[in-house]
Amino acid sequence: MKIASAMARDCIKLVCVRHGESAWNKDNKFCGWIDVPLSETGEKEAVRAANAIKSEPDLIFDKVYTSLLKRANRTADVIVKRCCSGDRQNKQPQIIKDWRLNERHYGGLTGLNKAEMAEKHGKEQVQIWRRSFDVPPPPMTPDHPYYSEISEISLCQLKFIGCLELLVRLQMTIHCSMMFPRGAFRIGNH
């Protein structure tokens, strides 16, 4: 019994939370890397997520990883303020912001209304762009109204945008390199 409780105490727990509804989610627009805030509903969703996390006994946060996007940062801030203060936790967690945690880039669809794009290109094509693992959305060209806002991120980083397959690869790099640094664990008979 003592061994089991010591193992449970020493286990790492990973808590994953998606940001609350953004202003563009509410307007049914393709959002991706555009830095829009949470909607009023999104703020309430962040509070509900924080309350759900706070109801879990013995969760103590050492680090909080978030994207560079304000909607994700605001969600993380709400959770940290509600869950990492008072008698539950003596020390504030380290907040780590990384562009590799940004959500997928919607390319040329960024800022456009999803329903209007379904009318123009067909519902099936829009679903392929949104949900296909290996088919990226149309590229964002320099004449796109949000190009300059997004192109502030270096070209090296922009090569990872597009389809979900690239997003998964990108997410794995941050999970492996930051959350589980070299030597943190081994798999197999090494």
Amino acid at 73: N
Phi-psi region of 29 (alpha: psi -120 to 50; beta: other; left: phi over 0): beta
Q: Give SS3 for 2.
A: helix
Which residue in 19, 21, 45, 105 is the catalytic one? 19
Which residue in 40, 45, 103, 190 is the catalytic one? 103
The yes-or-no answer on residue 121 being catalytic is: no
b/e burial code for range 109-127 (CB count within 10 A of at least 16 → b): bbbbebeebeeeeeeeebe
The yes-or-no answer on residue 175 being catalytic is: no
Beta strands in 77-158 (DSSP E): 94-97
| Burial (CB count <10 Å: 0-12, 13-18, 19+), residue 130 | middle
Query: Catalytic residue numbers?
Result: 19, 103
